[in-house]
Amino acid sequence: MLEIRDLHVHYGGIHALKGISLDVPKGSVVTLIGANGAGKSSTLRAIAGLLKNKRGHISWKGTDISGKTPVDIVKAGIVMSPEGRRIFAHLTVLENLQLGAYSRSDKAAIAKDMDWVFELFPRLSERRNQKGGTLSGGEQQMLAVARALMSAPELVMLDEPSLGLAPLLVKEVFSIIRMINDRGMTVLLVEQNAYAALKVAHQAYVLETGTITLSGTGESLIADARVREAYLGG
Ligand code: ATP
């Protein structure tokens, strides 16, 4: 469904992605693990159309999207929930979610998705009239994911959704990822929490300083001695 071939990204003199290739099949959860600065966020940002200095092929359902704008990419069905808390602090939870659906017009389908999102995130449902900026860090992160889902994407890209969350919430995030996938959405997940990410993933890639060094099923990478040593604490 998504095919990346020989993708390079430069930031000035920094060669952040050095010709990576990866596939995200329809209906799957694919994860990208790697240390800080390996290029995980850059990969998602390149797919989302946010980076100018890139080279290579990004094909989505058979069409090259590497030259498209971020808005066109959302319209094509790919949405990214960025790392950190990029929500609208002065808008309520409900308004933040409505904004996620701005490119859609089918009111009935939007309402249905809103119900589903509130089912996935009961905490957000309870706080629907509260301003985004008054939510806890973890809740804001969940709001960012929920807002991404409101665009009814075919592919949702999650950048470190478990970052900085308490252990209980981390568990919740990974169970939500499964539920999103059960609903038919394809997921491309970037995570530092390598074990949980590999557990949930059908396919996984290890990124090291801009190069993919290993790939396989989530299970096979959990069993791989090199992955255990470098990312799973031996
Ligand atoms: P992290 O989890 O720390 O965000 P990452 O694997 O997502 O790590 P990237 O954020 O993609 O890595 O960064 C890859 C490399 O590109 C790093 O060396 C980083 O310093 C550099 N880089 C990222 N964004 C920029 C930027 N806007 N300007 C200059 N260099 C950048």
Task: Read off the amino acid at residue 45.
Answer: R
Q: Give the separation between CA 20 and CA 37, rounded to whole angstroms.
A: 15
Judge if the beta carbon of residue 84 lies within 6 A of ligand 1: no
**pLDDT one-digit tens code per residue, 63-94:** 999 999 999 999 999 999 987 668 899 999 99
Is ligand 1 within 6 A of the CB of residue 7? no
- Mutating to test ligand 1, I would choose from 14, 45, 54, 190 the residue with most ligand atoms within 8 A of its C-beta, which is 14
Give residue 99's pLDDT: 93
Tens digit of each residue's pLDDT (9 = 90 or more) over 123-166: 999 999 999 999 988 899 899 999 999 999 999 999 999 988 88
41 alpha carbon – ligand 1 mean position (Å): 7
C-alpha 155/C-alpha 148 separation (Å) is: 10
Identify the pLDDT of residue 132.
94
Give the span between the Cα atoms of 231 and 35, in whole angstroms.
Answer: 8
CA distance linking residue 101 with residue 43, whole number of Å? 24
Best probe residue, ligand 1, of 40, 54, 192 (max atoms within 8 Å of C-beta)? 40
Q: Is 179 in the pocket of ligand 1 (CB under 6 A)?
A: no
Q: What residue spans define the domains of the chain?
A: 2-231
Ligand 1: nearest atom to the Cα of 190: 7
- Spatial neighbors of 196 by CB under 8 A, at least 6 apart, are 162, 170, 174
State the closest ligand 1 atom to the C-alpha of 210, by its place in the atom list counted from 1.
14
pTM, to two decimals: 0.94
Ligand 1 in reach of 41 Cβ (< 6 A):
yes
ipTM of the complex, rounded to two decimals: 0.92
Is residue 85 within 8 A of residue 160, CB to CB? The reply is no
Confidence of residue 11 (pLDDT cuts 50, 70, 90): very high
Average pLDDT over residues 105-123: 94
Residue nearest to atom 1 of ligand 1 (CA): 36
Annotation: CATH topology of 2-231:
Rossmann fold (3.40.50)
Kindly list the distances between the CA atom of residue 167 and the CA atoms of 12, 51, 55, 208, 228, in Å, as whole numbers in the listed order: 38, 33, 38, 26, 21
102 in contact with ligand 1, CB cutoff 6 A:
no
The percent of residues in the chain predicted with pLDDT above 90, rounded, is 86
